[in-house]
Amino acid sequence: MNALVGERLSIVTPKAQTTWQRVTGLRTDEHTQAVFLDTPGLLDVRDLHQRAMLESAHEALRDADLVLVLLDGTSGRDPRTDPAISEALEEVPHGVPVIGLLTKVDAQDREYVPARIERLSEGLGMPVRAISGETGEGVEELWADIVSHLPEHPFYFPESDLAVQPVRFFVEEFVRETVFDLYDEEIPWSVMARVEEFREGEEPVYVLVNLYVDRKSQKGIVLGSGGRAIRELGTRARTRIEAFLGRRVYLDLWVKVLPGWRRKRGALARFGFHVPEDE
């Protein structure tokens, strides 16, 4: 989505399950506007948090005019036998076109890409394109394909908009992205970032972010010895936020313990997740 929109909206890390909540990006070219819903991945559900993530993806599928299925070109899993994909595709309304995207082709042996695309297309029953968000390969060709499938409708959003979520949401995402970059083990999947204060009228912009961890032992890991880890986190996250805002930022980070937040409906609702009632 970042490559298609031309703006860094969705966070990207080498770790799996980076996207937790749906990110809405916009691209408007002359007489065409596309609304992209970048969803959490299709994962094996292990707790209430992951259930909320999966439901977000399924909900987007039910509302879409066109579905793009990203197939990780460097993953060892075979999408043709992945039940998560087949179950998700059952949510797509009849008649809605589906296109598979073999991603990260810049990191693959080019000799085998055509044969791999053919196998995936036959096994999944959909056309498959090769694409690289890193180099931009195949992006504009994909855009032309997307435009050809869009229904006619007045623009939903102003032409200058690139996203729907508020600035606070993206600040939280950049902090969380930095957590994924700096920490290992269970920490990245146990930390939720929430902006508590955002003083845009100050110079530099003052931003207070609470980092909620799942267990007390994780708080010490996030802080690090003598606070070194949290200072590094703040420095790196601030740089990303400043690039996004185009302004200087004072980032104030605090770590709090919210025991078992990934398994509590109330906590998840507080963080903006929707968990279906029928568990």
* Tens-binned pLDDT, residue by residue, of the chain (279 aa): 999 999 999 999 989 899 999 999 999 998 999 999 999 999 888 899 999 999 999 999 999 999 999 999 888 778 999 898 999 999 999 999 999 999 999 988 888 899 999 999 999 999 999 999 999 999 999 999 999 999 999 999 999 999 999 999 999 999 999 999 999 999 999 999 999 999 999 999 999 999 999 999 999 999 999 999 999 999 999 999 999 999 999 999 999 999 999 999 999 999 999 887 765
My answer on whether 134 and 175 are in the same domain is no
Domain termination site, one of 116, 149, 182: 149
My answer on whether 145 and 40 are in the same domain is yes
Q: What is the CATH number of the domain that holds 114?
A: 3.40.50.300
Contact criterion met (CB below 8 Å) for 118 and 103:
no
My answer on whether 34 and 128 are in the same domain is yes
My answer on whether 123 and 220 are in the same domain is no
Residue 162, in any domain of the structure: no
Residue 161, in any domain of the structure: no
My answer on whether 94 and 180 are in the same domain is no
Contact criterion met (CB below 8 Å) for 123 and 102:
no
My answer on whether 122 and 175 are in the same domain is no
Residue 31, in any domain of the structure: yes
Q: What is the CATH number of the domain that holds 212?
A: 3.30.300.20
My answer on whether 99 and 203 are in the same domain is no
Question: What integer pLDDT is reported at residue 278 of this predicted model?
Answer: 61
Residue 160, in any domain of the structure: no
Question: What integer pLDDT is reported at residue 121 of this predicted model?
Answer: 95
My answer on whether 46 and 175 are in the same domain is no
**Which of 61, 133, 65 is CA-nearest to residue 90?**
61
My answer on whether 118 and 242 are in the same domain is no
Residue 36, in any domain of the structure: yes
My answer on whether 142 and 175 are in the same domain is no
Residue 277, in any domain of the structure: no
My answer on whether 9 and 144 are in the same domain is yes
Residue 41, in any domain of the structure: yes
Look up the domain containing 239 and give its range. Answer: 167-270
Structural domain count of the chain: 2
My answer on whether 117 and 171 are in the same domain is no
